[in-house]
Amino acid sequence: MKILYQGSPGAYSHLAALEVYPDSEIISCKTFDECFQRAQKDEKLKIIIPESNKTTGNIGIEYLIFKFRLNIYAEHFHQIEHNLLGVPGSKLENIKNVFSHQQALSQCSDFLKKKNIIENVRTDTAGSAALVSKNKKKSEAAIASKLSAKIYDLDILTENIENEKGNATRFLIMGKPISQPEFEEKKYITSFLFKLKSKPAALYQSLGGFAINGINLTKLQSYPEKNSFSSYFFLCDLDGHIDDPKVKKSLEELGLHCEDFHVLGVFPSDKFRDK
């Protein structure tokens, strides 16, 4: 099995892939678009993509979910521990500039403000570590993983600088072949997207079936259709399996109000949700 992730070696997506698929070939991609495009063309490939973070919310890959509509096989919650990395011999008090992904910078904002360090946004955390290693400036640092420190020969100046301990990112494992587990007495997530018919109170009416059948929606997000601010898609997750009679009835009710409806995946609920 080959697993694609976005970022440079040492990125948190790389770490998540190692946790889920330790015996697989793990391949780096420059962009999220590249991950999705390659998986759509090759059914032997799977991708592991960050979808949202516990403290800073959505990562911003929903437009790719809409565009490619790959099947979701699983979710994985990866604990995020941010570290300040510098070249060998550098000291915390001499750091003036820090480089990292916008999400990482936001998640470490309290530490950076306290130390009066200037933030510099880059495309990924591990790539920032590679940049600092290449520049060899003792006034520069990166926010990245411990694996990045090892790969790019950097010192860990300060560990766990994130604003909130217990921070975690939710990853989705996706691919082209459609597959879902059989309905058993377990906890499941059903993920789907839909576009409503253009009529007054359409969203309110469409959600009534979930309330009547006691189905819990854990995610409901709207996104404008391409080149439009009047037509929206909705991305939704619910607790339950699509073959559960109550879930099935709820989705049938929803379908009456939709122009477009697409099941993205049915997969076991990660045990992290029970914490």
Between CA 41 and CA 97, with CA 127 as vertex, the angle to 5 degrees is 150
Between CA 201 and CA 211, with CA 205 as vertex, the angle to 5 degrees is 140
Is-contact 44 238, C-beta < 8 A?
A: no
Nearest to 76 by CA among 172, 3, 4, 157: 172
- Count CA atoms closer than 13 A to 244's CA, side-chain side: 21
In the chain, the amino acid numbered 134 is K
Does 169 qualify as catalytic in the annotation? yes
Cα gap 114→10, rounded to integer Å: 27
In the chain, the amino acid numbered 72 is I
Cα gap 227→34, rounded to integer Å: 22
Does 171 qualify as catalytic in the annotation? yes
**Marked catalytic residue, from 56, 125, 169, 190:** 169
Other Cβ atoms closer than 10 A to 1: 11
Q: Which residues contact 236 (CB under 8 A, 6 or more apart)?
A: 191, 192, 193, 194, 217, 219, 220, 221
**Marked catalytic residue, from 32, 36, 111, 171:** 171
Among all residues, which ones are annotated catalytic?
A: 169, 171
